[in-house]
Amino acid sequence: MGEAGSHVEGSRLDPWVDSYATRAKNLSASAIRALFAVASRPEVVSLAGGMPYVQALSMDDMADIAAQVVRDRGPQALQYGSGQGDVSLREQILDVTAEVGVHAHPDDIVVTTGSQMALDLVTRTFCDPGDVVLVESPSYVGALGVFRSYECDVVHVAMDDDGLIPEALQQAIDAARAAGKNVKLIYTIPSFHNPAGVTQPAHRRAQILEIAQRAGIAVLEDDPYGLLGFEGEPPRALRADDDQGVIYLGSFSKTIASGLRVGWAIAPHGVREKLVLAAEAATLCPSNYAQLTVSQYLATQPWREQIKSFQEVYRERRDAMLESLQAMMPAGTTWTIPAGGFYTWVTLPEGLDATAMLPRAITELVAYVPGTGFFVDGQGTANMRLSYCYPDPDRIREGVRRLSTVVEAELEIARTFGTAAGTPGSLSGSGESSTPAPDLA
């Protein structure tokens, strides 16, 4: 280990700590992550994870598809491929994005290893340290981790039940610019938001686009849940009304299977070229095997029907979650009503702290993600994200029952001692978001 082995500074556990780049200091695993290792025991009802219910797929069909790919196109599937992604898959992706009104040329698409990688590529292409990225309040923890790792100045913008508030967005742009900051991206999840569970109505999308266009700031639209609505047509993507100002991210993680790790970005020509170069630098090319599996799936399976059956599974679970919250949660607790996607965002009665409460919840065999993980600035202490995507309806009802007893007990303590027990933020250290476990993202 040479010199580093005899290093006396830094951490005794990690002798390389003084060798890291500044940006690596922003990569930290949260204490919550460690707690969830304990919480993954089968007796714990996890309302924490964002894992899609892949069991709704036919495993026989998936096995056949995987076999066909190797048998019929093995030499291609098992070889390196194009850094931009397989061209026939890119054409098929456009059939999927047409469902949210997005039409483009296959050349506008970059296939990525999940949309998480696209978040990384866009950020590394646009952002220098200190550049401002405007995000919702709360925002997707995996995106916050990327922005922080590139040393962006992440600024939260207020939301309400209709998502990002246009006036607040304008104010945030004005304030950042008045402070001499360079605002590079507006990051938004307009449909079935993770973690807030809300969806921007059409008029709001138009206002947000107008503000971004006037300010000359690129919109990074993250849309992994857009096809998982529970009623009516899928919401029309922002990208459908602006092909030059919006970078659109999509994913097969929620509509087929997250383990395939296939997502994509659709970007204006110049941006797309940069993204391909960045992707080649990162991974050479996305997995041909995974891409051809997705391509074969889309070509041979009734994928629209499969998405409908995912919608039904998640709608039933959403209903079980909302009904049991309504029936069991103590007065003063509120939550959002998701019209699609995986999550509801809960606000606890005044004085309670969701981070401090988590160890007690896990003792009672129920887990959730505390709200502070979805902010970079310590907001969200009274919030938690509950996900209904993975446990079946009976488990969800049991999980909410357990959670309601924990909240009741916390309220009792708060009533007795005048404040919530525990040290606020003690689990998450700084109270800021840090790298989540993948199944929590």
Ligand X SMILES: Cc1ncc(COP(=O)(O)O)c(C=O)c1O
Which residues of the chain form contacts with ligand X (CB under 6 A)?
50, 114-116, 140, 142, 189, 194, 222, 224, 251, 253, 258, 263, 441
Burial class (CB in 10 A: 0-12, 13-18, 19+), 400: buried
Rank residues 15 and 114 by Cβ distance to ligand X and give the closer one. Answer: 114
Residue facing ligand X at closest CB distance: 114
Rank residues 237 and 352 by Cβ distance to ligand X and give the closer one. Answer: 237
CB-hemisphere CA count at 13 Å for 192? 27
How far is C-alpha 204 from the geometric centre of its chain's CA atoms? 21
Cβ 249 to ligand X shortest distance, Å: 7
Cβ 117 to ligand X shortest distance, Å: 7
Rank residues 255 and 404 by Cβ distance to ligand X and give the closer one. Answer: 255
Cβ 118 to ligand X shortest distance, Å: 8
The side-by-side arrangement of strands in the sheet containing 343-347 is 334-335, 343-347, 383-387, 369-370
Cβ 221 to ligand X shortest distance, Å: 10
Rank residues 140 and 314 by Cβ distance to ligand X and give the closer one. Answer: 140
Q: How far apart are the first and last CA of the chain?
A: 35
Cβ 140 to ligand X shortest distance, Å: 4
DSSP 17: G
Burial class (CB in 10 A: 0-12, 13-18, 19+), 316: middle
Q: 275-278: long-range contacts at Cβ-Cβ below 8 A with a sequence spacing of 24 or more?
A: 275/110, 275/118, 275/121, 275/122, 275/125, 276/83, 276/84, 276/110, 277/83, 278/121, 278/124, 278/125
CA-to-CA distance for 167 and 177, rounded, in angstroms?
15
Rank residues 155 and 441 by Cβ distance to ligand X and give the closer one. Answer: 441
Rank residues 194 and 355 by Cβ distance to ligand X and give the closer one. Answer: 194
Q: Of all residues in the chain, what percent are helix, strand and coil, respectively (each to 5)? A: 50, 15, 35
Cβ 16 to ligand X shortest distance, Å: 28
Pairing of strands 383-387, 369-370: antiparallel
Rank residues 126 and 356 by Cβ distance to ligand X and give the closer one. Answer: 126
Q: Which residue has the tokens 């995912």?
A: 310
Cβ 343 to ligand X shortest distance, Å: 9
